[in-house]
């Protein structure tokens, strides 16, 4: 996924068939200031959640620009409420150095075929003709532009390493997971490239 339109098209396609009880969704997303800024990925994920509320596992493979702690936190503080059944959130990205942790093969995301984006775009005309609930979803998406998270550069919730992408900076993960757990009580497990957090049902307790 290279821009917000790709996420919108995916959300529209997910509404085509009868909704399943649950779905594991894998997304490759290029986050860049020009094509997919933080606010765009937040809106796109929120749209996907409303279009496919049956998603119970979300795996996001991030590549592109580095992401800061406050940016990563706000993406899902904004998007998680749109995924009512989400229990497992897996976040992956390229290792920052050759010696960095490499994810276990069991948790490696499947690679998206090279023609996926072109197939999604070709399906857009068909999707628009048969979906009756898309106008309200789109209206909800674009009316939320002003409420999308706008991260201020001087926010300093903690002191993460400035040289690390937040996905690889374990010093900030517990703080982020606590914020996500408060906004989405149904979330049970968050997996980063080098750490795993299981959110217990009672109390403010997080097992690693």
Instruction: Return the top range by mean pLDDT from 42-46, 84-88, 90-94.
Output: 84-88
For residues 74 and 157, give the distance between their C-alpha atoms in angstroms, rounded to a whole number: 12
CA geometry: angle at 25 spanning 76 and 18, to 5°? 115
More confident residue, 110 or 195: 195
For residues 205 and 57, give the distance between their C-alpha atoms in angstroms, rounded to a whole number: 21
Q: What is the pLDDT of residue 206?
A: 62
More confident residue, 159 or 2: 2
- 77 pLDDT tier (thresholds 50, 70, 90): very high
Task: State which H helix or E strand residue 129 sits in.
Answer: helix 116-130
pLDDT tens per residue, range 114-172: 454 554 444 444 444 434 454 454 455 445 444 444 444 444 444 544 568 899 999 99
Q: Average pLDDT for residues 45-70, to the nearest whole number?
A: 92
| pLDDT higher than threshold 60 for residue 61 | yes
- 187 pLDDT tier (thresholds 50, 70, 90): very high
Q: What is the pLDDT of residue 106?
A: 40
More confident residue, 188 or 101: 188
| pLDDT higher than threshold 80 for residue 67 | yes
Q: By mean pLDDT, which of 23-32, 74-83, 129-138, 183-192 is the weakest?
A: 129-138
Contact 125, 119 (CB under 8 A): no
**Residue 85: count of CB within 10 angstroms of its CB:** 15
Q: What is the pLDDT of residue 200?
A: 76
* DSSP labels, 63-101: EES---HHHHHHHHHHHGGG-TT--EEEEEE--SSTTS-
């Amino acid at each position: 996924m290279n821009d917000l339109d790709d996420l919108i098209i995916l959300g529209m396609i997910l509404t085509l068939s009868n909704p399943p009880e649950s779905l594991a969704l894998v997304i490759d997303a290029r986050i860049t200031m020009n094509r997919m800024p933080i606010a765009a990925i937040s809106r796109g994920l929120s749209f996907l959640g409303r279009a496919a509320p049956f998603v119970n596992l979300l795996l996001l493979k991030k590549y592109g620009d580095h992401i800061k702690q406050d940016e990563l936190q706000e993406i899902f503080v904004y998007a998680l409420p749109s995924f009512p059944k989400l229990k497992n959130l897996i976040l992956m990205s390229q290792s920052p150095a050759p010696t960095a942790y490499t994810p276990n093969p069991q948790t490696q995301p499947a690679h998206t075929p090279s023609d996926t984006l072109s197939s999604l775009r070709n399906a857009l005309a068909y999707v628009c003709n048969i979906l009756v609930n898309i106008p309200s979803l789109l209206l909800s998406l674009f009316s939320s532009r002003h409420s999308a998270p706008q991260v201020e550069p001087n926010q300093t919730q903690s002191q993460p390493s400035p040289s690390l992408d937040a996905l690889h900076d374990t010093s900030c993960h517990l703080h982020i997971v606590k914020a996500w757990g408060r906004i989405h009580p149904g979330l049970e497990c968050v997996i980063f490239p080098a750490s795993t957090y299981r959110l217990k049902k009672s109390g403010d307790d997080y097992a690693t």
